[in-house]
């Protein structure tokens, strides 16, 4: 019943029901299902697809995608699936990494971590069980304050093209964003990022002065050469909710930032 209510409250209930039906039955190719949003976690698919597309256009053969906040692991499994499918479309190898404490949320530092909504210990995981389920993703376990300092030296990841931020807290997200300073060799010149806890409802009351939105706001204020920007291109026509949770990351000083990556023929018909 709750599912029916959600569908009927959506802007396009018939369209959503059709997409759900197509996804559950696995009708058509992955490329077709992805194009209409009839896939699991379409926002994950969107990020991976466009990161791989940019890499292909720049002649970069291998990239990485990251999920911050693995918890039960369903998101990381979905990310693995999309990486495997998108690899076939573009011929770009995609590595997957998942960051987590392994023990659930830490203690909130103060009001900026929204302790009225989150509690220490939420979203605990079973690391061994999670590793058994994964087919290709690598778990990076530990406090982000530590793993953010050791990750690049330890793993030497291919250029990162897409990031899912689901650490919930301001404090953890703020630290994760410092990893954008690791060096241009570790990133595509433009990346796509999804911030899960930026909309919410009347209980969460996410805003620009707490949580993930505050972390984004402070990062932009402190950095001139790297900026996180709203994905205005996604909210032009009948946007999905997740369209408002996508940011674009621009590395203006990246040596490949100005490399041409658009369509070769843009001549307008006279």
**By mean pLDDT, which of 1-10, 21-30, 242-251 is the weakest?**
1-10
Structure tokens at 115: 């302790």
- Provide the whole-model pTM: 0.92
Question: Higher model confidence: residue 269 or residue 158?
Answer: 158
pLDDT in tens, 131-179: 999 999 999 999 999 999 999 999 999 999 999 999 999 999 999 999 9
* DSSP of 71-103: TTSHHHHHHHHHHHHHHHHH--EEEEEEEE-SS
Long-range contacts of 231-238 (CB under 8 A, 24+ apart): 231/192, 238/11, 238/12
Structure tokens at 167: 């650490």
pLDDT at 267: 74
How far is CA 175 from each of CA 24, 181, 267, rounded to the nearest angstrom? Answer: 38, 11, 44
3-class DSSP state for residue 253?
coil
């990133």: which residue's tokens? 187
In angstroms, rounded to a whole number, what is the distance separating the alpha carbons of residues 195 and 125?
Answer: 21
- Cα angle for residues 227, 233, 235 (degrees, 5° grid): 110
Spell out the residues 6+ positions from residue 226 whose beta carbon is closer than 8 angstroms to its own: 180, 181, 219, 249, 250, 251, 252
pLDDT in tens, 187-219: 999 999 999 999 999 999 999 999 999 999 999
Domain with CATH 3.40.50.150 in the chain: 41-251
β-strand partners of 230: 247
pLDDT at 2: 54
**Which runs of E-coded beta strand occur in 115-261?**
138-141, 160-165, 187-195, 226-230, 246-251
pLDDT in tens, 39-59: 999 999 999 999 999 999 999
How far is CA 231 from each of CA 113, 195, 206, 241, 259, rounded to the nearest angstrom? Answer: 25, 12, 18, 12, 21
Structure tokens at 108: 């909130």
* Residue 8, pLDDT above cutoff 50: no
End-to-end CA distance of the chain: 54
The CATH architecture that domain 41-251 belongs to is: 3-Layer(aba) Sandwich (3.40)
In angstroms, rounded to a whole number, what is the distance separating the alpha carbons of residues 230 and 239?
Answer: 13
């Amino acid at each position: 019943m709750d599912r029916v209510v959600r569908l009927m409250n959506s802007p396009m209930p018939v369209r959503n029901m059709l997409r759900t039906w197509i996804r559950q039955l696995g009708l058509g190719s992955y490329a077709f299902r992805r194009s209409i949003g009839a896939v699991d976690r379409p926002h994950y698919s969107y990020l991976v697809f466009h990161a791989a597309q940019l890499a292909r256009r720049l002649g970069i053969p291998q990239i990485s995608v990251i999920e911050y906040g693995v918890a039960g692991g369903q998101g990381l499994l979905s990310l693995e699936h999309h990486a495997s499918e998108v690899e076939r479309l573009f011929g770009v190898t995609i590595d997957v990494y998942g960051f987590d404490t392994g023990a659930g949320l830490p203690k909130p530092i103060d009001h900026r971590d929204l302790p009225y909504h989150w509690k220490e210990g939420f979203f605990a995981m079973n690391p061994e069980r999670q590793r058994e389920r994964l087919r290709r993703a690598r778990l990076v376990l530990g406090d982000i304050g530590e793993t953010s300092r050791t990750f690049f030296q330890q793993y030497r990841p291919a250029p990162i093209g897409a990031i899912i931020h689901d650490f919930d807290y301001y404090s953890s997200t703020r630290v994760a964003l410092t990893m954008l300073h690791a060096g241009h060799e570790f990133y595509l010149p433009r990346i796509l990022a999804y911030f899960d806890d930026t909309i919410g409802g009347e209980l969460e009351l996410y805003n620009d002065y707490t949580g993930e939105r505050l972390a984004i706001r402070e990062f932009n204020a402190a950095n001139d050469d790297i900026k996180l920007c709203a994905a205005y291109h996604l909210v032009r026509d009948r946007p999905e909710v997740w369209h408002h949770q996508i940011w674009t990351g621009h590395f203006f000083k990246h040596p490949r930032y100005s490399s041409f990556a658009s369509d070769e023929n843009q001549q307008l018909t006279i």
